[in-house]
Amino acid sequence: MSDKMTGMMPFRIERPDDGIRPCLQEKIDNLTKPKGSLGGLETLAMQAGWIQQTLSPRLSNPCHIVFAGDHGITAEGVSLSPQEVTHQMIVNFWTGGAGINFLARQHHVDLSIVDAGVNFDFDPGDPILHRKIRKGTRNYLYESAMTAGEMNLAVERGADCVSACFEKGCNVIGFGEMGIGNTSSSALWMASLTGMPLERCVGAGCDHTGNIVAHKYRVLSQAMANYRGGGATEEAMRYFGGYEMVMAVGAMLRAAELKMIILVDGFIMTCCVLAAYRLYPEMLHYCVFGHQGDEAGHKLLLDFLGAKPLLNMGLRLGEGSGALCAYPLLESGVRMINEMNSFREIRVTKYF
């Protein structure tokens, strides 16, 4: 059942029709291979065909959107990286030198960078999508990170970004993020929306040494103790979220509404899936989970959602890197169902 309050733009998200599944399974089982021998590729082919309601699914004009925003909680020292890294990395994105850039080039994915709420004044001519809500969220140790109006606007702007991709013929889309401090916000979303103890949700973020975790946990525990909101999903999103995270939620919901395949990245984007799922549970059917990252709570969250990630390679970069690393597996599943011969087409005795 949906956990949505009033005020946010509505979405119409439907579970794909199950009627096509037996036909998809029959086609997959009659390809020239032992039944089930391509394992997860068969699962991906089934999911793609089910979402698209066809026995011959296609991946068209793949897109990837990185939403960027700053977080007021960084004033409390919850990250070893200074806040200016957010806007510096955006410049790295548009000049093509970041991790997500080489992956997008490798897999021929159209990449967009969105200023959702970075604490920096970009020039109007800079090659990004200027969708800034505010120059960083407020410090949720003391007050809500954003107003209800700001949250609703972020959802709408995220949805609009996906609509623009869809209009270009895109039917498979990934999402990533850039925002110093957003693992803190994600941990609080996870604890609030799953009921898990906060200590199981808090990880080291960009601090590979783990030295900051104890301090980070103390700050976030106090923020949660100060929180006076109710249990509604939108309240937790508004109080603890980042503009880039809320835009990602809106983007995911719009993608599911448009029946697009959604490539899910690591801990932060999985927390965005969690929020979107709490609002519209049927959106989960459109998600392909790219990987299990190293952030402490990610495996727990994947298990909570019943998700089976495609990769486990120790990735913890963010930006959507794990989603794009997994994209070729989805492509392989789609090529399998479209390009392999069936036993009906050639003279091969079924050998299973």
pLDDT one-digit tens code per residue, 117-170: 999 999 999 999 999 999 999 999 999 999 999 999 999 999 999 999 999 999
Domains along the sequence of the chain with CATH:
63-328 (3.40.50.10210)
pLDDT digits 0-9 by tens, 225-235: 999 888 899 99
User: In this predicted structure, what is the pLDDT of residue 230?
Assistant: 81
Q: Residue 115: beta bridge partners?
A: 68, 130
In the predicted structure, residue 210 carries a pLDDT above the cut 70: no
Q: Residue 175: beta bridge partners?
A: 65
Chain centre to alpha carbon of residue 339: 29
Of 225, 16, 247, which Cα lies nearest the Cα of 141? 225
In the predicted structure, residue 349 carries a pLDDT above the cut 70: no
Residue 252: phi, psi to the nearest 5? Answer: -65, -40
CB-CB contact of 321 with 328 (8 Å): no
User: In this predicted structure, what is the pLDDT of residue 1?
Assistant: 35
Active site residues: 319
In the predicted structure, residue 262 carries a pLDDT above the cut 80: yes
Mean pLDDT of 41-68: 98
In the predicted structure, residue 4 carries a pLDDT above the cut 90: no
C-beta atoms surrounding 5 within 10 Å? 14
N-term to C-term CA, the chain: 42
CB-CB contact of 230 with 284 (8 Å): no
pTM, entire model: 0.95
How many residues belong to the chain? 352
Of 73, 1, 5, which Cα lies nearest the Cα of 229? 5
* CB burial string 246-280: b at 16+ within 10 A, e below: bbbbbbbbbbbbbbbbbbbbbbbbbbbbbbbbbbb
Q: What is the torsion angle, in degrees rounded to the nearest 10, for the CA atoms of residue 49, residue 9, residue 87 and residue 227?
A: -110
d(CA 142, CA 144): 7
Of 282, 227, 271, 224, which Cα lies nearest the Cα of 249? 271
d(CA 319, CA 152): 23
d(CA 234, CA 213): 27
The residue whose two tokens read 């897999």 is 107
CB-CB contact of 131 with 157 (8 Å): yes
